[in-house]
Amino acid sequence: MQKAEALLSSLGDQGDDPIAVAGGPRGSSEKQLVSPSGGQLLWTAAVCLSSSVGLGLVAIADAASRQGDGKLSFLFWLGLLGIFVPTAHRSLSGSCGRSERLLLALMLGSAMYLVKVAAAPTGFSFIDEFIHLRTLQDILRTHHLFTFNPLLAASSVYPGLETVTSAIADMTGLSPFVAGLLLVGVARLVFTASFFYVAEQVTGSSRAAAGATLVYASNPMFLFWSAYFSYENLALPLAAFVVWWIATTRRQPGRGPLLVGAVGVVAVTVTHHVAGFALAAVLVAWWVAERIVRGTQPAVRRLGWMAALSLVVPIGWMATIARPAIAYLWSENIYPGISQTVALVQGHLAARTLYSSAGSAAPLWERLAGFGGVAILLLLLPIGVYYAWTKHSSRPALLVAAGVAALYPLSLIPRLAPDGVAISGRSSEYLYAGLGCILGMVAAMASGPAARQHQTRWLRWLFRLVPGKRRSGLAVTAVLTVVFLGGVTVGTPYNKLLPEPANPVGYPSAVQPDVFAAAAWARTNLGPGRTFATDALDAPVLGSFGEQNPISENLAFPIFFSSTMSQAVVHDIRSAGVDYIFVDTRMSLGTPINPSYYFSPYEPGGSHHAHPLPSSYWAKFGATSCTSLVYFAGPLRIYDVTAIADGLCVPAIRAG
Amino acid sequence: MVTRTAPWRLAALGAAAFLSMVTALAAGTTPPLPLRVLIGLLMTLILPGFSVLAAAAPRLRLKVPQLALACVAVSICCDLLCGLAVGGTAIGLTATSVALGLSMVTALAASIAAIRQARASADVGAGPHLVATQSTPSTPVSDLYEGLRTGWRVVLSICTAAAVCTIVGGSLLLSQHAAVAARGPAYLALGTRALSPPAVAVTVTSHERRSVAIRVAVLDGKIVVGTWTRIHLRPGQTWTARVKLPSPATFEIVHTSLYIGSSTIPVAGTAVRIG
């Protein structure tokens, strides 16, 4: 074991700072923290410059894409490489100091956040952002929490993100968009720093922590999804902070540190459901591992108290305040995903075609990068888990990380089921934390000289396959780059990486500017809170910018999918209490690509529309005297159907 | 082991308490935007966390990056809990209530931190004032710095005074805020009257200056026709809305309601006969 500890400590070279599992610094890197050498500053400046150039290239690619020029899309990938590759190479280098590695990790995290900002610099533009914007607007308008959100009921009962954004907007006078952008950006920094420190405490090496950060940055959701104005993107950083705080302070005397940890647990709970339960799972697993290894030391007891609190608070919140989230999580996400995955495993369901949407497929190299990245992770995972297992008696936290990482292969199976993509994709944000720690350790070993003297024969043989001293860093960087590129291609459909041009040919896959104008018109002229039936793409904009109440997508499609005002259509309008029909006639110009349905995955034709919808589907609304066209601009129409909904007027019923 | 508080931490605690007092006093006013952004960001993302950390874990010595991380994260938690406390109650989450709440938390925590630091210094008999002085040439800046080093009692006084002022003043203002909210919507509907052709005129006046969305809806079991508008009513100002009814009117009794946010306000004289 002493040999193992010595080897672990030798992972970092001159700049490394081994850290005890839950204590303070064991080595001393204060000198580096205070006065980095000129060479280090030069490297940091060079990496910073490279990241800036990379961001510039991404911004150029975004601008070209908005103009409809797809030829410059290669600049996007070039920019991402400019951000990732120098950072990876430098932070795994033996001459890189601890504080420099932390700085590089923060630069990587913030640069990748700015990639998302460059894609939508003037306003929220992603579906989830509209959902949370609605909750934020409700808070700013009513000054109270828990107002029902028709776009996602769970959002209003987990109002942490919107509450803090509202506080920042109120205190600073900034717009909700800028306040939200600022908060998520700060949260990204909090997450990156917390994760780096946690990984450093778990692995005992700042080089391994840098590797862990690089692997985590390769998770499919990190580039775009984790940068959205969405509740999980505040909860996850706070959860990472709570873990770091407990690890750092559980040996401190007094109740003050425990109180701060408890406040953090409550904050995570109030912000996001899954993050709250994930934090509880990690703390309980960590406590169990510590209890087995270290017995009943006071620090372990303190950890136990925090674990118990983190378990009780989310359950209590969900049982009392956040009941709508139970149906959302179980009925709409977990159960369909699990049942389809089971059907897939049993052979009752055909596997989804990966990298394909509505008949079009991603470029070959993107598919290769995706499969290659996953293959590398699956290949290296057993090595990392084996390595962690040999250390388990002294590092319980490492054992927990290995346990989390070992779930990664299982998380890939639901990805093959149509309804399992969400579970598989979103679980990566949690599983990559463990995976990052384990593979970060492997990356640090492979890029350092210690690997060649490993006491395990087969590991020693494996690491000697990596070319010589200087080139080993390049080889590890190359492998991590493939994993990173693969993660980006897995997490975001190829046609969503760059902004869509205004007025695209066919049915758009992003909300068009004229829809924002129509939503603003509806808010001003119809007043907020009117019930609308519309398509899945435009509903979030009507619900947020227009402050209207779109009906459920599964209630909306029966109203549209008929060429005549049949009895069923009239019944659906009345039963849903629809006031207005919002029609985007672009539905007759092309088939939907992403999402691959117009209203709902359960609509006729489902996710495999071969032809656009016929215009007769909305012509029927103008053919009856019971409706009135109140808005008409280009392809957009708003029909007033309140007379039908109120029963004041009955249209001539025709067979559907 | 003797633990001493770095002078800059004491100075920061005093500054946090002072700034929170200023914020509480200025709550409800609209300072210039750059100043508001600066103070707003400090009061939402840094100072509450810094004060709470200093109060909760006075002996914890974190490195600067770790301290910065903890300050920001704990500040966000404070914002959230403060927002929950005011937004989930009758007080309401407004610029004033948030500013008061955060100021109170910051000042109280800074005061507790200063007391605990003073106690710790007294316990070990070596307050910051006993740190050996370097023999450097005296300058105004170094004199000021030395003053801070030796002046932890001044910091304690500032923190305590700020905490008392902020908490007393803030509590009074928040209770006033809550009382206004508890007595119901701050708008008084003066009445409705029927018009010909079928329509309803609604007149509203306010006894509190506030910008809100108001909905005037004509009800007959369910909403038949309604109109929304955003207005900014000054105290005593009157606002009138004219709501046309569908023609021909098929109902005799029309109820008119005002909605402010999620609250429904009954309007005086809601029964109107349409001729």
Which amino acid, A114? L
Give the E-state strand segments of A448-570 in sequence order.
531-533, 549-550
Residue A66 contacts residue A499 (beta carbons within 8 Å):
yes
- Res. A144: pLDDT tops 60: yes
Give the angle subtended at the CA of A98 by the CAs of A239 and A431, to the nearest 5°.
35
* Cα–Cα distance for residue pair A87/A51, rounded to 1 Å: 8
Is B165 in the same domain as B193?
Answer: no
Q: Which helix (H) or strand (E) holds A631?
A: strand A628-633
Let me know whether B70 and B89 are in one domain: yes
- List pLDDT tens digits, range B158-172: 777 777 777 777 777
First and final C-alpha spacing in chain A: 76
**Residue B207 is part of a domain; what is its CATH number?**
2.60.40.10
Residue B51, domain member (yes or no) = yes
The answer, yes or no, to whether residue B275 has pLDDT greater than 60, is no
Mean pLDDT is highest, among A141-145, A347-351, A417-421, A426-430, for: A426-430
Find the DSSP H helices in B125-186. 140-150, 152-182
* Nearest of B57, B223, B48, B141 to residue A167 by alpha carbon: B48
Cβ burial of A100 (10 Å; 0-12, 13-18, 19+) is buried
**Burial of residue A259, with CB atoms counted within 10 A of its CB: 0-12 exposed, 13-18 middle, 19 or more buried:** middle
For residue B132, what pLDDT is reported? 35
Residues B21 and B132 placed together within one structural domain of the fold: yes
pLDDT score recorded for residue A344: 87
Residue among B8, B2, B16, B47 at smallest CA distance from B152: B8
* Angle separating helix axes A364-389 and A457-464, nearest 10 degrees: 150
What is the crossing angle of helices A396-406 and A421-447, to 10°? 130
What SS3 state is found at A459?
helix
First to last CA, chain B: 89
Q: Which of residues 180-239 of A touch B (CB under 8 A)?
A: 183, 186-187, 189-190, 193-194, 197, 234, 237-238
Asked if A163 is an interface residue toward chain B (Cβ–Cβ < 8 A), one would say yes
Distance from CA of B58 to the nearest CA of A (A): 9
Distance from CA of B130 to the nearest CA of A (A): 25
Please tell me whether residue B254 adopts helix, strand or coil conformation.
strand
From residue A467, give the alpha-carbon distance in Å to each of A212, A320, A464, A475.
22, 59, 7, 8
Who among B99, B222, B228 is closest to A171 (CB)?
A: B99
A535 CA to centre of own chain: 24
- Of B167, B182, B197, which residue constitutes the final position of a domain? B182
- pLDDT tens-digit map of A289-345: 999 888 778 889 999 999 999 999 999 999 999 988 888 888 888 888 888 889 888
Residues A496, A501, A502, A508, CA torsion sign:
negative
Contact of A67 with chain B, judged by CB distance below 8 Å, is answered with no
Q: Are residues B90 and B55 in the same domain?
A: yes
Q: Rg of the Cα trace of chain A?
A: 26
Considering the domain architecture, whether residues B175 and B204 belong to the same structural domain is answered as: no
Beta-strand pair B263-266/B253-260: antiparallel
Does residue A509 contact residue A590 with C-beta atoms inside 8 Å? Answer: no
Q: What is the domain extent for residue B225? A: 187-273
Higher pLDDT, A259 or B142: A259
User: For residue B143, what pLDDT is reported?
Assistant: 56
Is the model more confident about A651 or about B136? A651
Q: How many other C-beta atoms are found inside a 10 Å radius of the C-beta of residue A362?
A: 18
Shared domain check, B157 and B26: yes
Is residue B1 domain-resident? no
Q: Is residue B262 part of a domain?
A: yes
- Which CATH entry fits the domain spanning A513-646: 3.30.70, 3.40.50, 2.30.29, 3.30.310? 3.40.50
Can you list the alpha helix ranges (DSSP code H) found in chain B? 7-26, 33-45, 47-56, 64-87, 95-124, 140-150, 152-182
Rg (C-alpha) for chain B, rounded Å, is: 27
CA-based nearest residue to B218, from B199, B191, B203: B199
> Which strands sit side by side in the sheet containing A531-533, from one edge to the other?
A549-550, A531-533, A580-584, A636-640, A628-633
The residues, ordered by sequence, that sit 6+ positions from A237 with a Cβ below 8 Å of its Cβ are A187, A188, A190, A191, A194, B73
- Tokens coding B132: 């050996």
DSSP state of A608: -
**pLDDT the model gives residue A238:** 97
For chain A, the structural domain boundaries read 2-230+322-496, 244-267+274-321, 513-646
The answer to whether A170 faces chain B, any CB pair under 8 Å, is: yes
Nearest to B57 among A146, A160, A252 (CB): A252
ipTM: 0.89
The SS3 of residue A312 is: helix
- The DSSP output letter for A333 is I
Is the Cβ of A243 closer than 8 Å to some Cβ of chain B? Answer: no
pLDDT at residue B251, as a whole number:
42
- What's residue A651's pLDDT? 81
d(CA A319, CA A317): 5
Residue A166 tokens, joined: 């509202």
On whether both B195 and B176 belong to a single domain, the answer is no
Q: Which range has the worst mean pLDDT, A45-59, A123-137, A387-401, B59-73?
A: A387-401
Residue to test with chain A: of B37, B50, B76, most A Cβ within 10 A = B76
pLDDT for A57? 96
In which region does residue A56 sit, left (phi positive, over 0), alpha (psi from -120 to 50) or beta (all else)? Answer: alpha
Minimum-distance CB partner of B44 among A147, A168, A187: A168
Peptide bond into A336 cis (omega under 30): no
Mean pLDDT of the residues in chain A: 86
Is B144's pLDDT higher than 90?
Answer: no
Total count of domains within chain B? 2
**If you measure CA to CA, which chain A residue comes closest to B260?**
A142
Query: CA-CA distance, A55 to A78, in Å (whole number)?
Result: 10
* End residue of a domain, out of B136, B165, B182: B182
State how far the Cα of A299 lies from the Cα of A397, in Å rounded to an integer: 14
Residues of B in contact with A254 (CB under 8 A): 57, 59
d(C-alpha B60, C-alpha B52), whole Å = 12
Q: Is residue B47 within 8 Å of residue B20, measured between CB atoms?
A: yes
C-alpha to C-alpha distance for A424 and A193, rounded to whole angstroms: 26
Is residue A262 within 8 A of residue A273, CB to CB? The reply is: no
pLDDT level of residue A100 (50, 70, 90 thresholds): very high
In a shared domain, residues B161 and B255: no
User: Chain B partners of A174 at a C-beta cutoff of 8 Å?
Assistant: 37, 40
Instruction: Give the percent of chain A with pLDDT over 90.
Output: 49
Same domain, B39 and B101: yes
Same domain, B233 and B135: no
**Under 8 Å between Cβ of A106 and A113:** no
Examine residue B2 and state whether it is found in any structural domain, yes or no: no
- Taking an 8 Å cut-off on Cβ atoms, the answer to whether B33 and A173 are in contact is yes
Do A143 and B261 count as a contact with CB atoms less than 8 A apart?
yes
Distance separating alpha carbons of residues B252 and A37, to the nearest angstrom: 86
Beta bridge partner(s), residue A111: none
Query: B98 and A197 in contact by Cβ < 8 A?
Result: no
Mean pLDDT to the nearest integer, A246-272: 93
Give how far Cα A351 sits from Cα of A370, A427, A491, A607, A610, Å. Answer: 17, 20, 18, 14, 20
| For helices A364-389 and A469-491, angle between their N-to-C axes, nearest 10 degrees | 120
Which pair of structure tokens corresponds to residue A230? Answer: 């969405």
Q: Are residues B194 and B251 in the same domain?
A: yes
Last residue of a domain, one of B147, B182, B217: B182
Which pLDDT tens digit goes with each residue over A481-525? Answer: 999 999 999 988 888 899 888 777 788 888 888 899 999 888 888
- What residues of B are in contact with residue A270 (Cβ under 8 Å)? 80, 84
B27 assigned to some structural domain:
yes
Most confident of A25-29, A284-288, B209-213, B259-263: A284-288
How many C-beta atoms surround the C-beta of residue A329 within 10 A? 17
Query: Distance (Å, rounded) from C-alpha A54 to C-alpha A184?
Result: 21
A549-550 vs A531-533, strand pairing mode: parallel
> 10 Å Cβ neighbour count for B234?
10
